[in-house]
Amino acid sequence: MARMTMIEAIREAHDAAMAADDRVVVFGEDVGFFGGVFRCTAGLQEKYGKSRCFDAPINESGIVGTAIGMAAYGLKPVIEIQFADYVYPAYDQIVSEAARLRHRSNADFTCPLVIRMPTGGGIFGGQTHSQSPEALFTHVSGLKVVMPSNPRDAKGLLLAAIADPDPVIFFEPKRLYNGPFDGHHDKPVESWKAHPLGEVPDGDEIVPLGKAAVRREGTEVTVLAYGTMVFVAEAAAQETGVDAEVIDLRSLMPLDLETIVASVQKTGRCVIVHEATRTSGFGAELMSLVQENCFYHLEAPVIRVTGWDTPYPHAQEWEYFPGPGRVGEALKKVMED
Amino acid sequence: MTSDTGPLSLNVPEPGCRPGRTPDFSDFEIPRAGAVARPPVDADPDLIRDMAFSIVRVLNKDGAAVGDWAGALSTEELHEGLRHMLLLRTFDARMLNAQRQGKTSFYMQHLGEEAVSCAFSRAMEPGDMNFPTYRQAGLLIARGYPLVTMMNQIYSNAEDPLHGRQLPIMYSSKEHGFFSISGNLGTQFVQSVGWAMASAISGDTRIAAGWIGDGSTAESDFHAAMVFASTYNAPVVLNIVNNQWAISTFQGIARGGVGTFAARGHGFGIASVRVDGNDYLAVHAVAKWACERARRGHGPTLIEHVTYRAGGHSTSDDPSAYRSRREAAAWPLGDPVERLKKHLIAIGEWSEERHKQAEAEVLDTVRAAQKEAEAIGTLTAGKVPSPRDMFEGVYETMPPHLIRQRQEAGF
């Protein structure tokens, strides 16, 4: 068990997968010689050669399109979209091609492909380096969508994604890349290396897709969160004194509905937190599922705490995404009802 | 603002022949058969740039095969090629009729373009992979894919290999080197490059072929495919089928009235060739050259197949609304079936009688297949796939939410 950052954990997952299976190939913008702008693939080209880890032209549709061809051939491509904000040129390839290939060909051709992309804000990235487009992918039949909140999950989920026979969208919250934070934006990030959650087992421990984790047990309200917002939710629970159960979804598709329902039926209250814009966001899906499955157990209306329905701002990002203050208000509000 | 330049105006290219006008292909430059030399397969793309502006042709107006590109096929292979084209044409006619009879929702025929896919298919080897568009069923026919299976899919009946999930003509057969067709145009051009890159990464010997129409070369993925193929020297043959029409939009809209589609390869350093797409011998010879080039590690080739879509875009299209009814007959490169037939007669290996007999045999074959397929069912009658099938195969293992939805639907 070593302590490491999420970046290092992601690199370890690549390394373990590439060592175990020479069908695993890694490519994307800057991922080869330089090891990626966030350094998630550093050293892989040197270790596995240029034909298994290489730089790609700046063409996201081309990166995903060629990866689909490679996956159909029988390789297992793991590709990096430099920022989630850049994925839109590749959207057609992902949605119309990768997601549907198995179904439309009756498994004559399949697409075991992992598309990694840094997501979310908190690094002053402005409109084009901060978005959280997960809902655009959970809406698409045939895709799996994952977002870890800590190094152990990042490694284990990435290994599971690479082993998966279907295309997986792998979101990496870039605000968590180098360390966790206590939920507040204005305090320094603590290194994962000094944080218990930064402990990552050696070898190839898999975190299965479709399984949520209970990060904080509680009895009064269930908070559903993923990625960076897990820490925001934990901080809010701590600071308000509300006995909240914080569930880290980890996989959005498939979703661990069983864990969600069991928790909400136990607590009778639910707050949903995500960084993405609210309207038609993944929170809407979660709210519908909670309503469908837990209506008679609910003691208060479900509340969403989300990013606002505006383009992602540069200077006002701390006002844009939820912090412990806004989540705390939601916790107090559901407790009043 | 300056006052001496006048207002600007937009150029919107127009085809030469709208309905009611007389077709005129007089400005379409067609080199004589045999005029284009056959370069070695390791030719430097820079040294064969003129091939993107000329047209490789083998069959002359008398039906003789002439020039460097001739002589690659035996008489037996030519007979087989003619049969494949007749089979595709007859299959098309029967299925077009079946659609008009309401037995299926949709069909797309190949009329006038049969040589492109039938001849190309012969140049590829088992294990190679095509990434076709909806107008290359000849790749399957020439590889012996069962006609009944094709029809089962067209009818979406209980034996449809894709369980009614795909449009009728969007076939898929890994075994026959035919990648699952997408209706989103251009997407698969770049996938073919990826498949070829994977073969190279794996140290394999197999190659890929991408297919795109003239209209879809305007898609960004066309350019993505070119840059990836060029950058990684992928073992791929990239085919543009220029059949002059993208539904009602003539090829000049995607091309802008300048250069040729093949010439687009020059900016990428890709060997680029134009070929007479209605000349079975020329298509085969160029395809063979390009496949060998890819297989020997000399990189990608871009081929523009110059042909003409004599039929409608699909059963939902009426081409008389946007082009002259006489245009197909005026197309100067003729009919691929007639040209190969004429060649075989010219060399003493065929006759009108044998041709009639072959047409009758092919019709019997197609009729028999149709009878067999219709005995199983059509879109509107007989045995159909279970609605349960639509829930299957979205993922390798059905996730819980789909199981719940399948149960909710009653299956």
Q: Is the pLDDT of residue A183 over 80?
A: no
> Cα Rg for chain A, rounded, in angstroms?
19
Q: Measured between CB atoms, which of A25, A68, A106 is closest to B393? A: A106
Which segment of B11-25, B38-52, B170-184 scores lowest on mean pLDDT? B11-25
The pLDDT of residue B406 is 97
Residue to mutate among B169, B195, B206, B406, with most A CBs inside 10 A, is B195
Per-residue pLDDT tens digits for A9-36: 999 999 999 999 999 999 999 999 999 9
ipTM of the complex: 0.96
Q: Where are the alpha helices (DSSP H) in B60-186?
A: 75-100, 114-123, 138-141, 147-154
Q: Do B179 and A62 touch (CB under 8 A)?
A: no
Active site residue A297: no
CA R_g for chain B: 22
**Option in A52, A61, A255 nearest B401 (CB):** A255
Alpha helix stretches (DSSP H) within B63-131:
75-100, 114-123
Which pair of tokens denotes residue A253?
A: 């598709």
pLDDT in tens, B348-377: 999 999 999 999 999 999 999 999 999 999
Mean pLDDT for chain B overall: 97
Q: What sign has the CA pseudo-torsion A143, A144, A150, A154?
A: negative
Among candidate residues A33, A85, A92, A42, the one with its CA nearest the CA of residue A65: A92
**Length of chain B measured in residues:** 411
Nearest CA in chain A to B223: A62
Grade residue A184 by pLDDT with cuts at 50, 70 and 90. Answer: confident
A247-273 per-residue burial string, b: 16 or more CB within 10 A, e: under 16: bbbbbbbbbbbebbbbbbeebbbbbbb
The whole-chain average pLDDT of chain A stands at: 97
pLDDT (0 to 100) of residue B2: 61
Residue A77 has pLDDT above 80, yes or no: yes
Q: Which residue has the tokens 């209980």?
A: B158
Binned at pLDDT 50, 70 and 90, residue A1 comes out as confident
Q: Which of A103, A129, A139, A195 is catalytic?
A: A129
Cβ of residue B198 closer than 8 Å to a chain A Cβ: yes
How does DSSP classify residue B129?
E
d(CA A240, CA B29): 80
Residue B229, both tokens: 């193929």
Contact B201 A51 (CB under 8 A): yes
Q: A92 vs B184: CB contact, 8 Å cut-off? A: yes
Mind telling me how many Å the CA of A181 is from chain B's nearest CA? 34
Q: Would you state the pLDDT for residue B3?
A: 75
Query: Which of B124, B50, B39, B44 minimizes the C-alpha distance to B299?
Result: B44
CB–CB contact B224 A62 (8 Å): yes
pLDDT tens, residue by residue, A90-131: 999 999 999 999 999 999 999 999 999 999 999 899 999 999
Cβ atoms within 10 Å of B376's Cβ, excluding its own: 17
Report pLDDT digits (tens) over B33-68: 999 999 999 999 999 999 999 999 999 999 999 999
Query: At A187, is the pLDDT very low, low, confident or very high (cuts 50, 70, 90)?
Result: confident
> What is the model's pLDDT at position B1?
55
| Residue B180: DSSP 8-state | P
3-state class (DSSP) for residue B312: coil
Which of A59, A106, A253 minimises the CB distance to B224? A59
For A233-247, A318-332, B15-29, which range has the lowest pLDDT when averaged over its residues? B15-29
Q: Which one of B162, B174, B188, B190 makes the best mutation probe of the A interface by having the most chain A beta carbons within 10 Å?
A: B190
| Per-residue model confidence (pLDDT) at position A181 | 82
User: How large a percentage of chain A has pLDDT more than 70?
Assistant: 100
Distance of CA A44 to the CA centre of its chain: 23
Instruction: State how far the Cα of A114 lies from the Cα of A78, in Å rounded to an integer.
Output: 5
Nearest to B188 by CA among A190, A64, A211: A64
* Mean pLDDT within A39-54: 98
pLDDT digits (tens, 9 = 90+) for B145-154: 999 999 999 9
Contacts with A67 from chain B: Cβ below 8 Å: 194
- Does the CA dihedral B370-B373-B379-B383 come out positive or negative? positive
pLDDT of residue B102: 97
**pLDDT greater than 80 at residue B262:** yes
A214 strand-pairing partners? A247
Give the helix ranges, DSSP H, for chain A: 6-20, 44-48, 60-73, 91-92, 101-104, 134-138, 151-163, 229-240, 257-267, 282-294, 317-320, 324-336
Largest Cα–Cα distance in chain B? 75
How many degrees, rounded to 5, is the angle at CA B29 between CA B23 and CA B30? 100
Q: How confident is the model over B265-293, as a mean pLDDT?
A: 98
Peptide bond into A57 cis (omega under 30): no
The CA distance from B161 to the nearest CA of chain A, in Å, is 7
Classified as helix, coil or strand, B324 is coil
Q: What is the pLDDT of residues B322-337, one digit of tens each?
A: 999 999 999 999 999 9
